[in-house]
């Protein structure tokens, strides 16, 4: 049943109306990333009344996030709260009817495979290209639409990918330079984030109300600071020989051999280390052991933060770790081995 008071202004918008609102309230969206793009995407979708939102994010909240990640507060920073968990808390406070699940961890192939049958739409808010290519292949495999979004500096871009109809991200790579949007040290301004989010969410709402004719159908890019705006038709880029969406697809980015175990995080002096096999750490025991070995340790139910040499390691329950203050993956791995063996 439509909550007429809560969503009345949205229902009054003719392309949505009562029927569209009822459709929105039956949909499940998977959101990959709860940082700058993800926190705002999640808020807009929850305010719009979606039935269910599942959020996957591997990171925790830092002070530098607050400049553009509008869902979070200084209290979240103080607690070193994982973004997925903090987003769940804040989104529930906005709309307690929406079922929000926060998953603190990596968007692995195995995890995504377990969720694909349940979701209607996937929203890209990640900060690395490897995850985006996994998303691209898995949504093709399960025939789920997804909306790509990225931004850095004052530049942003977005594209809506419909399996079987539009080119996929793998196709676009042949013609459009997307890699530069994945990791940059040039900073970012909040208006660029919000502009990308606006384009992503309006396309999402069209899909949720099943108004497919209204979809933009173009690859959108802009530079707010320099007043540039471009909308490119890319239909002809679709390749029949594409290994992700073509006639003889093999979904190459779902192959574990194509996945790295270390990654330098976007725009930060941080290396992420993933164990070859997921662990199940007792963080309380780990924190006590590290303290006994003379390390400076801070811990909460989600992570253990350790000062080691000139770096800081943040260790999660699944054995994943973020090694801060370095971009040297070999050095980061050596610190990880000192802490976890």
pLDDT of residue 130: 81
Interhelix angle for 190-208 vs 17-24, to 10°? Answer: 100
- The CATH number linked to 266 is 3.30.310.10
pTM for this prediction: 0.84
Please say which residue of 223, 257, 291 terminates a domain: 257
Interhelix angle for 190-208 vs 36-48, to 10°? Answer: 40
Domains contained in the chain, number: 2
Read off the pLDDT band of 118 (50, 70, 90): very high
Read off the pLDDT band of 175 (50, 70, 90): confident
- Residue 77: inside a domain, yes or no? yes
Interhelix angle for 83-94 vs 36-48, to 10°? Answer: 30
The predicted-structure confidence for 274-311, as pLDDT tens digits, reads as follows 887 778 899 999 999 899 888 999 999 999 999 999 89
Share of the chain above pLDDT 70, in %: 95
Read off the pLDDT band of 4 (50, 70, 90): low
Q: Are residues 264 and 215 in the same domain?
A: no
Ranges 148-162, 173-187, 262-276: which has the least confidence: 173-187
Give, as one character, the DSSP assignment of residue 248: T
Q: Are residues 247 and 271 in the same domain?
A: no
- Whether residue 112 contacts residue 135, with contact meaning beta carbons closer than 8 Å, is answered with yes
What DSSP string describes 52-96? EEEEEE--B--GGGGGT-TT--HHHHHHT-BHHHHHHHHHHHH-T
Q: Are residues 114 and 102 in the same domain?
A: yes
Q: What is the mean pLDDT of the chain?
A: 91
Q: Are residues 249 and 265 in the same domain?
A: no
> Which range marks the domain in which residue 293 is found?
260-340
Q: Are residues 252 and 271 in the same domain?
A: no
Where is pLDDT greater, at 108 or 178? 108
Read off the pLDDT band of 184 (50, 70, 90): very low
pLDDT of residue 2: 45
The predicted-structure confidence for 193-241, as pLDDT tens digits, reads as follows 999 999 999 999 999 999 999 999 999 999 999 999 999 999 999 999 9
- Residue 1: inside a domain, yes or no? no
Q: Are residues 86 and 26 in the same domain?
A: yes
Please say which residue of 257, 276, 308 terminates a domain: 257
């Amino acid at each position: 049943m439509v909550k007429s008071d809560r969503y009345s202004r949205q229902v009054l918008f003719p392309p949505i109306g009562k029927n569209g609102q009822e459709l929105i309230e039956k949909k499940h969206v998977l959101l990959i990333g709860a940082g700058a793009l993800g926190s705002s995407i999640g808020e807009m979708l929850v305010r719009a009344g979606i039935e269910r939102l599942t959020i996957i994010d591997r990171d925790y909240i830092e002070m530098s996030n607050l400049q553009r990640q509008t869902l979070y507060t200084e209290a979240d920073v103080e607690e070193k709260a994982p973004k997925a968990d903090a987003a769940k808390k804040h989104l529930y406070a906005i709309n307690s009817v929406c079922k929000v699940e926060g998953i603190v961890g990596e968007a692995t192939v195995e995890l995504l495979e377990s969720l694909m049958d349940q979701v209607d739409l996937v929203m890209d808010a990640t900060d690395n290209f490897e995850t985006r290519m996994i998303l691209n292949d898995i949504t093709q495999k399960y025939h789920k639409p997804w909306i790509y979004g990225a931004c850095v500096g004052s530049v942003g871009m977005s594209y809506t990918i419909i399996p079987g109809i539009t080119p996929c991200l793998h196709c676009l790579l042949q013609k459009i330079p997307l890699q530069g949007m994945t990791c940059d040290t040039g900073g970012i301004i909040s208006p660029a984030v919000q502009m990308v989010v606006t384009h992503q969410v309006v396309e999402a709402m069209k899909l949720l109300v099943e108004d497919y004719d209204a979809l933009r159908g173009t690859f959108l890019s802009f530079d707010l600071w320099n007043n540039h705006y471009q909308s490119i038709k890319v239909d002809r880029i679709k390749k029949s020989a594409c290994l992700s969406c073509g006639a003889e697809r093999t979904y190459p980015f779902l192959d574990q051999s194509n996945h790295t175990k270390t990654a330098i995080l976007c725009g930060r002096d941080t290396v992420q280390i993933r164990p070859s096999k997921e662990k199940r750490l007792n963080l309380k025991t780990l924190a006590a052991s590290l303290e006994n070995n003379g390390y400076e340790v801070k811990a909460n139910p989600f992570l253990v933060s350790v000062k080691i040499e000139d770096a800081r390691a943040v260790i999660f329950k699944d054995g994943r770790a973020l090694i801060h203050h370095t971009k040297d993956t070999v050095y980061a791995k050596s610190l990880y081995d000192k802490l976890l063996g």
